Amino acid sequence: MPKKFEETHAETESASQPSTTATDDLLDSLKGKYDSCLVTGFDKEGQLYMSSSISSLPMMHWTLNRSIFELGLFEKQSSQTQEAPASDVDTEASES
């Protein structure tokens, strides 16, 4: 089963600026694990690069949208775990 975004993100989160070595290692570690993939990145000049094993443009578009959706869920779950849990105690209760 493919890794979830959280697992992949945790592996690559440690480097604030991805290096060529980290990028190559990541790509090498994923070989043979997926039936299809879409790769996006930036070259040394800052130009966007995109390549896909998916020949269907609508499927590529759906894949990108799904990735954005998963990223949004991950960010929401991360922010919820960092917030302090709400207290069940009524601090405004009148004193008797």
Question: Dihedral, CA atoms, 26, 70, 64, 62, nearest 10 degrees?
Answer: 130
pLDDT by residue (tens digit) across 19-69?
Answer: 667 888 999 999 999 999 999 999 889 999 999 998 999 999 999 999 999
Tokens of 42: 């930036």
- Distance between CA 19 and CA 1 in Å, rounded? 27
Model pTM above 0.85: no
